[in-house]
Homo-oligomer: A and B are copies of this chain.
């Protein structure tokens, strides 16, 4: 371990809540505060229209499955990516918590712009177009996610290397 590793900042994950995540997109969950109503002759509760799916005027929404290998904590965030032309939603289908690292739309996010959230296995996220985020950060086990994002013309993925990498972890009480 060298000096720079010793002095890297450490950011602990916040809980994933609607108000906290609002600058970056939407939390997808069947919460009591979500708009919901009963359908199918009383059999089913519909939690309605939980994310702003935004494929853009020349794109279309597609459904994929991402299978992510688990990461070890603490994890060093060295890069971020963004999709300028469309939203991207993730919903776990294997259960299990995961980490969400984001920064608001800007030219080049710095350490102070980055937020880390701990998502429960029953919570999804939808990144608004242009929101910087780290690729999938599954924990504990190989995990599958339903992904709703954009297919269409144009360059829809930018990546940056951070000037100052940082370490992320989850609070000890939630390990």
Contacts and interface: CB of A to CB of B under 8 A. Distances in A.
Interface in A128-142: 135-136
A40 B135 contact: yes
Contacts of A41: 135
A61 B59 CA distance: 12
B148 A61 contact: yes
Interface residues of A, number: 43
Contact of A146 (B67, B136, B146): B146
Nearest to A61: B61
Interface in A93-112: 93, 95
Interface of A: 28-30, 39-41, 43-51, 53, 55, 60-69, 71, 89, 91-93, 95, 122, 124, 126, 135-136, 144, 146-148, 151
